[in-house]
Amino acid sequence: MKSVSLTFDGVMKPKTEDSKPPYHPSLNYLRFLRRHRCPSSSLLLLAALLASFSILLFFFSSSSSSFLAHRLPSSSSSTPPFGGRDWERQVRSSARPRARNLTVLVTGAAGFVGAHACLALRRRGDGVLGLDSFAPSYYDPSLKRSRQALLLRHGVFVVDGDLNNPQLLAKVFDVAPAFTHVLHLAAQPGVRHALRRDPSPYVSSNVAALVSLLERIKNADPMPALVWASSSSVYGLNSPVGPSSESDRTDRPASLYAATKKAGEEITHAYNHIYGVSVTALRLFSVYGPWGRPDMAYYSFTRDILRGRPVKVYEGSVRDFTYVNDIVRGCLAALDTAKGSTGSGGRKRGNAEMRTYNLGSATPVPVAELVDVLERVLGVKAVRKVVPMPRNGDVLFTHANITLARRDLGYEPATDLKTGLKRFVRWYRSYYTIKKNS
């Protein structure tokens, strides 16, 4: 595999060798926003748990055997062994801070946001240890391995293992220097995937793995603070009457993915209340950029446009596209401002911090406009197939209210869609040229 490096502007890049949109109410709302830039009205604060858990309970009752097959380690599993002197040396070296005082365990480290976050932490001198299961996914696993290789070249070791393996987690926490923070980004993503295939990985990865991690965190001494990725999907079937705020209702998920993320928010609240775990949940909005997930619209559109294939555009669909570097800055700001947990060894010694923030661009864009930008950047005309949004599994409109993140985290998205897509396309062309020639 040929080397991959970061460019000076923070974009991860492999080294090379030498029409008007159709009418839809959500688009009218978007035009109104652009004219008036008015703040959203205050919406009702509702404690919402029943819908998410009813879906999960139904899943458990109907697919328990399939779920357990995904959740429990097997003696015949191909999971690589852990431990040994060389493994322990790599864990300690990676987790040791260079110039700062944070020691961060990043789960999902070989994923899209996880890889970027690990590199950002390493660049500023934090101790950072990655963990990723490299589980069979619905995109080419070589992309995850390429991210892992990139991280290793920058001094970040990624433990190959499953969060649902308690012995592995115990070993990691025992060998590494005491973690001050855990940045939990591991998840089974994608809102439509569960409709087409086996949904059990969503519960195994997004619920069971979270509980397994929280069990290890609450028994640690000292107990690290948790910052984790929830999702804008928790806003579910709310009407697109304004930007989504952290106080909006989240009891009507449109997908199993959204339900598992909502369940995660309630589970972390319980560990915060019972054990004093410091918790910050980050609701991420439509992240895009270099090293992204091939199932995301901007990525698959790029591939299909270059191949002359039709791109499927959902009529009236609008997204709050957010560049990955902006998301990572928000993640690091959440780590830096998180107060410590108040418990240790499974015992609470006071009330701990519990925070929730939206991280988005606060600039929703019609998906049809995303295709327009890609056409200009690629220099290729897209073959468009405009179809109605499916009735199940996804939402038509997303828009983040980032007022709280601006106030508390100093969060300010800095990358517009055209700039971000130019960086992505530059990476895409380079990565797949090298992949083709290697």
Higher pLDDT, 48 or 136: 136
Question: How many Å apart are CA 75 and CA 409, to the nearest integer?
Answer: 45
pLDDT tens digits, 256-307 = 999 999 999 999 999 999 999 999 999 999 999 999 999 999 999 999 999 9
The CATH number assigned to the domain with range 4-437 reads: 3.40.50.720
Task: Quote the pLDDT of residue 194.
Answer: 66
Q: What is the mean pLDDT of residues 53-78?
A: 38
**Domain boundaries along the sequence of the chain:** 4-437
Torsions phi, psi of 375, nearest 5? -60, -45
pLDDT at 23 over 80: no
Task: Quote the pLDDT of residue 235.
Answer: 97
Higher pLDDT, 360 or 49: 360
Site of tokens 């195994």: 204
Higher pLDDT, 56 or 41: 56
Could you tell me which of 130, 128, 123 has the C-alpha nearest to residue 109? 130
Question: How many Å apart are CA 165 and CA 201, to the nearest integer?
Answer: 15
**Strand (E) or helix (H) holding 354:** strand 354-359
Average pLDDT, the chain: 85
Question: How many Å apart are CA 137 and CA 116, to the nearest integer?
Answer: 19
pLDDT at 80 over 80: no
pLDDT at 56 over 70: no
Q: Contact 383/310 with Cβ under 8 angstroms?
A: yes
Higher pLDDT, 174 or 28: 174
Q: Which residues are catalytic?
A: 257
Give the pLDDT band (50/70/90) at residue 423: very high
Q: Contact 76/105 with Cβ under 8 angstroms?
A: no
pLDDT tens digits, 164-221 = 999 999 999 999 999 999 999 999 987 777 677 778 889 999 999 999 999 999 999 9
pLDDT tens digits, 1-10 = 444 454 434 4
pLDDT tens digits, 109-163 = 999 999 999 999 999 999 999 999 998 777 888 999 999 999 999 999 999 999 9
pLDDT at 105 over 50: yes
Q: Contact 229/113 with Cβ under 8 angstroms?
A: yes
> For residue 47, is it left (φ>0), alpha (ψ between -120 and 50) or beta?
beta
* Amino acid in the structure at residue 144: K
Q: What is the mean pLDDT of residues 105-110?
A: 98
Q: What percent of the chain has pLDDT over 90?
A: 71
Task: Quote the pLDDT of residue 39.
Answer: 44
Task: Quote the pLDDT of residue 139.
Answer: 81
Task: Quote the pLDDT of residue 79.
Answer: 54
Q: Contact 353/279 with Cβ under 8 angstroms?
A: yes
